[in-house]
Amino acid sequence: MATFVLVPGLFMGGWAWEAVAAELEAAGHRAVAVTLPAEPAAGLADHVDAVAQVLAAEGPGTVLVAHSYGAFPAVGAVDRQPELVSRVVFVDTGYPESGESVVLSMPQVDLLSGVTGDVVPVPKEIPAVHAVPEAEHERWKRLAVPQPVRTVTDPIELTGAWLRVPTTGVFCLASRLSIEFARSLHATGMPRFAKLAEPGVTFFELPTGHYPMLSAPKELADVLERAADGGGVGLYED
């Protein structure tokens, strides 16, 4: 059985993973959902530290799962301790390069337009395209917290050690991410996308929106189990 460490995206805490964690635990796995520091003064390094502390506590062989923004603190943590992680699973997100910040890597999303003081306010709702059930949507609106602004403006510093770790990408099709899109990135020949076609790198697609932990937790848990065993397809496999 595997140990999964689950890292949330923007505005969310470990609560977002409750249904997925329950599915994994029912199948005999261990699931640890991380809640990242939400204090306005927190920076990206604080979030990296939080994930790194959980990895150190769990020990070698952990499957590290990162949703959306969570890829930044997750990659930062595994870059420090690659020997502790058997696989990184990216849920509907890419991975950063050293020196990048969230706002620089996502220019299409104007995260800073509504900044109040030291935090990015919680959006009013999850768009309908993501098909989050009403009860989960209401829970999200009740529990979501503002994002410390430095977590999205601080650049991440990486040695590249994390690149040795096998990875899996889970693409949510309603977000317009897909294996075909990953192929187009690899085809550019840019060094940052070389890892996409390496041995040990696999992919899944889910017919969901950006929040599968809220809209399809059973299906996501099934994919995470398969990813832990090296399942999925390579970039150029049918």
Tell me phi and psi for residue 91, to 5 degrees. Answer: -100, 110
Number of domains in the chain: 1
Q: Is residue 115 part of a domain?
A: yes
Q: Is residue 91 part of a domain?
A: yes
Q: pLDDT confidence of 111, banded at 50, 70, 90?
A: confident
Q: Is residue 184 part of a domain?
A: yes
Residue given tokens 């939080």 in the structure block: 50
C-beta neighbour count of 123 within 10 angstroms: 13
Q: Is residue 234 part of a domain?
A: no
Q: Is residue 151 part of a domain?
A: yes
Would you state the structure tokens that stand for residue 134, as one six-digit string?
């009403």
Rounded to the nearest 10 degrees, how much is the dihedral formed by the CA atoms of 222, 227, 229, 232?
A: 100
Q: Cα(8)–Cα(69) distance, rounded to whole angstroms?
A: 7
**Domain hosting residue 124, numbered range:** 3-228
- pLDDT over 90, % of the chain: 92
Q: Is residue 235 part of a domain?
A: no
Tell me phi and psi for residue 169, to 5 degrees. Answer: -105, 130
What value does the mean pLDDT take over residues 160-180? 96
Domain of 181: which CATH number? 3.40.50.1820
pLDDT tens-digit profile of 19-77?
999 999 999 999 999 999 999 999 999 999 999 999 999 999 999 999 999 999 999 99
Crossing angle between the packed helical segments 71-80 and 44-58, to the nearest 10 degrees: 60
Q: Is residue 114 part of a domain?
A: yes
pTM of the complete model beyond 0.75: yes
